Amino acid sequence: MQVLPTKTQKIIDAYLQLDFGDGRRIPCPYFINRPPRRRGSLAVLVGKGRPDEIIEEVFAIARRKRMDVCAMDADDIRRYMLEWGIGIDCSGFVSRVLAEMVCETHAESLFRSLKPPSGLFRRIAFRLNPAKNISVADLASDQNSIVVANVFDARVGDMIVTKSGKHILVVSRVNYGEKGYGMLTYVQSKEQGYVSEGHIILSAPERHLADQNWQKPEDCVPEIEHRRLRVLS
Amino acid sequence: MNIILSQFIVTKSLLFVLVSCAIAFVLAPFVIRFLNRFNITRRTEFDSSMGIVHRQAKAGTPIMGGMVVVVTVIVLTVAFNWEQRFTYVPIGVLGISSLLGGMDDLLNLFGKKRRIRSLSHTLRLSRVHRDWWVRIFMVLTLPWTAFKRFFYVLGSDPGKGIQPHEKIIFQFLAGAITAWWIYFKLGTQWQSIWIPFYGDVHIGFWIIPLVIFIVMFTANAVNVADGLDGLSGGSLVIAFSSMLLLAWMQGNEYFAFLNASAVGALLAYTYFNIKPARFQMGDVGSLGLGALLAVLAIAQNRILILPFIGFIFFGELVSVIAQAVSRRVFGRKLLKMSPIHHHFEMLGWSEEKIVMRFWVVNVIAVFVGVWIAMH
């Protein structure tokens, strides 16, 4: 069985269970901002923050609003996070996970190793603040990643790009059984939802990923692409 | 630097310190009563730092306590140290800046919330408004709207007080008056700046923008540092004391007496401002005294020593700028909260610990500054 390196797995666990103390743990909600709010904002306010930044920002906003996070239960915190627009979007989540993985396994920066998007201003913005300006298109571009043709070549850290490049998941565990069977575990920040895990049972080696047995069929949307970052390949 | 230490100046300066301190001590209880009576007190709803739990106890503390210092310094100087060439303009700048700060304090409490129209909204109105005259007005005033919007974006919390663009105009005015005084009234020998270990360098006309910048920067720096009980008061005592020392060494009695008045009044102010504060300085004191500190540093030809003398103030303002730049450019915070004293509060340092450590750091920086000033 392949698993993610320790620190990378910790990042995923932290998103899966944001720890607000006193046993209050909630999965990080999904949030993607509208474009006008992107300018001049913190990465954490546009759905691209690290787990610790997300928790800190919840406390900071609560402080500004004269509210006490310590007095809230987990449901209240989740509700306020949605209300205040604090969460993580799919590309933000995957890029944070992969950044940690690249750092841990290759001792380099994912954001520096990625080719920036075209256009002068986008390029400058990407170089200054990559975590905030990264998108599914950047991760899934041919410059930065390659297509994995065979599902049984899957590795941890692979990306599953869905909705014609509008959504992205990351493979967190790979388990090959005997006689051509296996299971992939993926993690995603799901639209209208939160960071969650899912499984794909690999039962037909000759067929495409979309035709395998998805434990959550709703995650298997058309036009699926299985990719791997060049830096990890 | 030729050190001219006159016993007369030193003795009379010390007298100014004591008299000023005594006047401020007598004045302070009346000011506290006045501020309480008219409810000129700190309110939680206008201050984002009040979200820090232990700061909520500060609600209800009178603000505008800086009036005690401003009034004492102005009265003493006008009565006993009024000299057109040396003290006229520093007092004028102190008055203008304090007036601006006072208006800000009062409008923050009693004014109405004002909204700055966005540029896109203005442009849309200039196209679609049914009244042609309004459309023309919108187009003609577009640069003004852009100016307002620019400073609105830079400002932290426009709220109800004086808007950032208005503050900038007033501070520019204070700086311009100082520059005019330095450039046109004090003679050509004042158009040079002193460089440590080198001497005076004539910069001519460039003294004007430099002076304007220094006055605006320092006034805002002191304003930013006025966030903890005793911090700005104590740091200003240290700063003006070092300016007094420099004035003694330069043998300039007018500046020495003016600095001495400020030191005395600030000592009394700090006595009442030590935690738990009986009153707080407010913009009336911080903007005024910040501008006065800058003007005196310029007039005493020690602009480049100002970052040492006002080390805490400059550090606080730089922390705010760095936080804003990091936030906008890199999308992350450098500090848990800016200015930096709030960062230490969030780290769990007690208010007293922060204030006293900042004082110690300021004293060390002042020693370095005075040593440099002697070369």
pLDDT block averages, 10 residues each, chain B of length 375: 80 96 96 93 71 73 94 95 86 91 89 78 87 89 86 65 83 86 77 87 88 92 92 96 93 93 97 92 94 92 92 95 88 89 92 96 96 89
Q: What is the helix (H) or strand (E) element at residue B17, kind and residue range?
A: helix B7-37
How far is CA B320 from each of CA A62, B165, B310, B335, B356, rounded to the nearest angstrom? 21, 18, 16, 9, 21
Average pLDDT over chain B reads 89
Q: Which residues of chain B have a CB within 8 Å of the CB of A66?
A: 44, 50-51
Can you tell me the distance from the alpha carbon of A104 to that of A107, in angstroms, rounded to the nearest whole number?
6
Within B300-350, residue ranges assigned H as helices are 306-309, 311-325, 340-346
pLDDT at residue B83 in the model: 84
Can you tell me the distance from the alpha carbon of B285 to that of B307, in angstroms, rounded to the nearest whole number?
20
Q: Write the pLDDT tens digit of every residue in B284-322.
A: 999 999 999 999 998 888 899 999 999 999 999 999 999
pLDDT at residue A14 in the model: 95
Paired with A19 in beta bridges are A25
pLDDT at residue B126 in the model: 86
Q: Which residues of chain A have a CB within 8 Å of the CB of B330?
A: 128-129
Residue B48, chain A, CB below 8 Å: the answer is: yes
Closest CA to B283 of B342, B359, B212, B224: B224
Whole-number CA gyration radius for chain B: 21
pLDDT at residue B47 in the model: 65
Cβ burial of B280 (10 Å; 0-12, 13-18, 19+) is buried
Asked if residue A186 lies in contact with residue A198, where contact means CB atoms within 8 angstroms, the answer is: yes
Residue A43, chain B, CB below 8 Å: the answer is: yes
Scan residues 141-200 of B and list those with Cβ closer than 8 Å to A: 153
Q: pLDDT (tens digit, 0 to 9) for every residue of chain A, 233 residues total? A: 888 999 999 999 999 999 998 889 999 999 987 655 555 678 888 889 999 999 999 998 888 888 888 889 899 999 999 998 899 999 999 999 999 999 999 999 998 899 988 888 888 888 888 888 888 999 999 999 999 988 888 899 999 998 777 899 999 999 887 777 889 999 999 888 899 999 999 888 778 888 888 888 888 877 888 999 999 88
Are A60 and B337 an interchain contact pair (Cβ–Cβ within 8 Å)? yes
pLDDT at residue B48 in the model: 64
pLDDT at residue B50 in the model: 65
Residue A41, chain B, CB below 8 Å: the answer is: yes
Nearest to B332 among A43, A60, A63 (CB): A43
Are A131 and B331 an interchain contact pair (Cβ–Cβ within 8 Å)? yes
Are B329 and A132 an interchain contact pair (Cβ–Cβ within 8 Å)? no
- ipTM, two decimals, is 0.76
Residue A89, chain B, CB below 8 Å: the answer is: no
Q: What is the dihedral of CA A53, A55, A59, A65, to 10 degrees?
A: 90
- Region of B354 on the Ramachandran plot (φ > 0 left; ψ -120 to 50 alpha; else beta): alpha
Nearest to B331 among A62, A64, A132 (CB): A132
Residue A149, chain B, CB below 8 Å: the answer is: no
Are B327 and A42 an interchain contact pair (Cβ–Cβ within 8 Å)? yes
Q: Reduced to 3 states, what is the DSSP secondary structure of residue B271?
A: helix
Are B51 and A48 an interchain contact pair (Cβ–Cβ within 8 Å)? no
Are B336 and A56 an interchain contact pair (Cβ–Cβ within 8 Å)? yes
Nearest to B51 among A42, A48, A66 (CB): A66
Are A128 and B328 an interchain contact pair (Cβ–Cβ within 8 Å)? no
Q: Which residues of chain A have a CB within 8 Å of the CB of B328?
A: 40
What φ, ψ does residue B333 adopt, rounded to 5°?
-90, 140
Mutation for testing the B interface, residue in A37, A39, A41, A42 having most B CBs under 10 Å: A42
Are B337 and A131 an interchain contact pair (Cβ–Cβ within 8 Å)? no
Q: Which residues of chain A have a CB within 8 Å of the CB of B50?
A: 66
Residues, chain B, total? Answer: 375
Q: Which residues of chain B have a CB within 8 Å of the CB of A44?
A: 332
